[in-house]
Amino acid sequence: MSGALTIKFAPDMPAATVEIVSPDLEVVQRVMLDPGRSTSVQVPSEASFLRVHLPSGQVVTLKDPGNLTREVSLQTIQGRLPGSQPPLEEELPEQSSVSEIRRYHRGRSRTPTLAVAPPMHLLQLRAYGSVELTGVGGHIPGVLASSGREAQWQLPYNPQQSPLALKILEQSGTRLDLRVPGNASRIWARADALRDQSAVSFSVRIATLASTADTIASYLQRGDLYSAEAMAQWVDEAAGLLFDKMEDPYAAAVGAYLLLRLKKFDQMHDWARNLASRFDFLPDGCVIWAWQLIHHQPSNADEIRKYLLMAVDRGLPVYSEGLRLLTDGLRLMGSDGQAARDKVVKSAGVVLWSSPLTASLAAEPGMAPPTDPSLHDIAFASAA
């Protein structure tokens, strides 16, 4: 029997895409839902089922024939993931596997800070290395947890502050530099010895209060966009993020990157130019406006050049999508952009393109270039 299927996301869910599929395996509709939000979709049968596409890239199928009201929670879907096990929420063994570490992060993304310890500026992750977080005002104190293997920060909500910088100095002398959006509310970074290989895993998770933007950034990093039609609701959400740029310029930048990827220039208007003009701490606004011009007004070479070079002067973009677009844009400038591109490449070092945020490896002065076997896993908490 046909009817209206109501789908609701529990508060513990990340923003995600849901496919509503009929019993004959036809996709009825794709929708995006935020935590605590619901929507109704007309379905041809009560036997229609859901496919939830998580920010991590995992896909969960939910079947509940005869029920036209479905509530989806993270607790419900965890057990349905391929090879899933209960998340490790409290502690990891002295040596772990990559899958165990990721399970731990899934649990940590839903729990408050575990540590009760005096805050410090430089946090030593056992003998594996040290980590520090800095902002415009200097070092931001954090606390140690997980038997000294994890550093944690709880941050006040301040989405209009400059980007933060997370630095992990590994025992080998390799330095991991990570650009962190100023709207971050929780950060945790840890070091774990891997059981099945002679290596150390350095992993970082960032949570913001803009969960939709976090999910979009994760999808952009993986190129998981399906098609413009499938992302229609996301486009609407992205346009709203960009319009509300005065409240959270970081979420606005993520929304604009999505609109750029989908070539929805009519929904961008000149908001990206305002983002570039009003937030001089955010190179991403300049990159976005330059690329909007490249697509929409390619003859405006002087304006394109102006904003690409302005982005270089402001430093590396916060998001890896922006770093890719910046280097590509400077390459399009030919010889005029070569010096600026060389500057970006030198500053970026060895880029970790698997990260949704700009992350790079470099050697501390006097050390050889990074060749250690460490693993680096950086993600938003919603994609843990």
- Answer yes or no: are the C-beta atoms of 326 and 287 closer than 8 Å: yes
CA distance 16 to 33: 6
Q: Which two tokens stand for residue 33?
A: 């839902």
pLDDT higher than threshold 70 for residue 369 = no
For the whole model, what pTM was predicted?
0.88
CA distance 140 to 296: 41
Predicted pLDDT of residue 110: 74
User: Residue 126 gets which letter from DSSP?
Assistant: T
pLDDT tens sequence across 158-185: 999 999 999 999 988 899 999 999 999 9
90, 130, 92, 127: which is closest to 111 by C-alpha?
90
CA distance 52 to 60: 5
Mind giving me the DSSP string for 154-196?
A: E----TTSPPEEEEEEETTSEEEEEEE-TTEEEEEEEEEEESS
105/89: higher pLDDT: 105
Predicted pLDDT of residue 227: 47
In which band, very low, low, confident or very high, does the pLDDT at 326 lie, cut at 50, 70 and 90?
very high
Predicted pLDDT of residue 226: 66
CA distance 143 to 126: 13
User: Cβ neighbours of residue 311 under 8 Å, at least 6 residues apart?
Assistant: 283, 284, 286, 287, 290, 317, 322, 326
Structural element, H or E, at residue 274: helix 271-278
Predicted pLDDT of residue 229: 53
pLDDT exceeding 70 applies to what percent of the chain? 91
User: What letter represents residue 99's amino acid?
Assistant: S
pLDDT higher than threshold 70 for residue 204 = yes
111, 102, 153: which is closest to 131 by C-alpha?
153
